Amino acid sequence: AQKVTQVQTEISVVEKEDVTLDCVYETRDTTYYLFWYKQPPSGELVFLIRRNSFDEQNEISGRYSWNFQKSTSSFNFTITASQVVDSAVYFCALNDYKLSFGAGTTVTVRA
């Protein structure tokens, strides 16, 4: 069974639109971490955010915001007022006993 499911495979928007990426995870552990990473075409993984299972406080950082809901095992990510530079593949990941990545969501922002 897949541990991390990213609902959208691809999202294409016009600049300045908001983009929400949905992530659902599955684990039996009570202590775990959730991550979002960005992978631009160059390939390196850019760390965006980390949340532990005891911290359900949602966060806004600039144009990025995250919604962690333990009750629904979801950890969603929103880009507000998207820009062309946001075009990348975004990965949601879960670390319970090892780090497992979702399949990724390709975000394309058109000018």
Residue (52 or 83) nearer to another protein, CB: 52
Exposure of 33 by Cβ count < 10 A (0-12 exposed, 13-18 middle, 19+ buried)? middle
Alpha carbon distances (Å) from 104 to 39, 53, 92, 107: 9, 21, 7, 9
Q: Please, where are the H alpha helices in the chain?
A: none
Residue (60 or 103) nearer to another protein, CB: 103
Q: Closest separation between CB of residue 86 and another protein, Å? A: 19
Angle at 59 between CA 66 and CA 98, to 5 degrees: 60
Residue (61 or 111) nearer to another protein, CB: 61
Q: Closest separation between CB of residue 16 and another protein, Å? A: 27
Q: Closest separation between CB of residue 47 and another protein, Å? A: 8
Q: Are 21 and 91 in contact (CB under 8 A)?
A: no
Q: Closest separation between CB of residue 78 and another protein, Å? A: 21
Binding stretches for another protein (CB under 8 A): 31-33, 35, 43-45, 47, 50, 52, 91, 95-96, 98-104
Residue (14 or 44) nearer to another protein, CB: 44
Q: Are 59 and 78 in contact (CB under 8 A)?
A: no
